[in-house]
Copies of this chain bind each other. A is one copy, B any other.
Amino acid sequence: MNIFTRSPRTPAIVLVRPQLGENIGKAARAMLNFGLTDLRLVSPRDGWPNPAAGPAASGADIVLEQARVFDSVAEAVADCAHVYATTVRKRGLVVPVVTPEEAAREIRTQAEPSAILFGAERSGLETEEVAIAGKILTVPINPDFRSLNLAQAVILVAYEWSKHSDLAIPTEGEEREPRATQGQLEGLIGQLEEALEAAGYYHPPDRTPATKNTIRTILTKADWSNREVQAMRGVIRALVNPRRR
């Protein structure tokens, strides 16, 4: 397989706990305008399908029909290696921040599939959800008037992605190992959390979520391939279960 000649990657658009069906439809319409069709919904408030979505999609029915529903962000992005969390807010996370332009460039040139998370209309993404992403995607906006709605955020990101769609993908560079999928990475994170739990690492209890997010961010940042993820899983196994000598 030649990873350099296939068509550029299209990101999955993941709406996390969207409230109004109308906004799901508007997001679908925004997507299709710029050629995106992979819509994923995490726990839509009013279930799915939602009769309010169709009229708002203004004909982008194919996006709604193909939309998939998941119970968690982790499940929704399990097959993706690059996950971006769209948020304008500061979080207590040390995660690289990129513009839509930078994200679009990365998504188009990365060999592995990407996903872009958008939070609920009012509340946005939870810190734990942002922590699943390796990067924060922030739309640079008027600091005195931040009022992007969900479909507008989607359309700006989709527009940036589409902009250079006629351009050839750079064919330079060495072939490198593909980044592990989110599912593979979750395997490592879950194993380590379990081991640390057993080792009494998490204390005091009220710091546990922050500590877990920190470790998740560190491991996500590492940009490991599945081979590397599996090697680190072997390391953890060895430390937890030393060989008798």
Contact = CB atoms under 8 A, between A and B. Distances in A.
Interface of A: 3-4, 29-30, 32-35, 58-60, 88-90, 93-97, 99, 101, 136, 138-148, 151-152, 155-156, 159, 162-163, 167-174, 176-177, 192, 195-196, 198-201, 203, 214-215, 218, 221-225, 227-228, 231-232, 234-236, 238-245
A243 B168 CA distance: 55
B90 A174 contact: yes
Given A32-B147, A147-B29, A195-B239, A99 B170 contact: yes
A156 B60 CA distance: 19
Given A30-B152, A224-B221, A201 B238 contact: yes
Interface residue SS majority, chain A: loop
Give the number of times this chain occurs in the complex, counting copies: 2
Contacts of A34: 141-142
Nearest to A35: B142
Contacts of A30: 152
B60 A145 contact: yes
B223 A145 contact: no
Given A201-B243, A215-B231, A221-B223, 14 more contacts: A30-B152, A33-B145, A33-B146, A34-B141, A59-B145, A60-B145, A96-B176, A97-B174, A156-B156, A196-B235, A199-B239, A199-B243, A221-B222, A239-B240
Given A97-B172, A174-B90, A232-B218, A60 B167 contact: no
Contacts of A214: 231
A165 to B, nearest CB: 8
Contact of A170 (B138, B167, B203, B239): B138
Contact of A142 (B33, B94, B231, B240): B33
Nearest to A168: B140
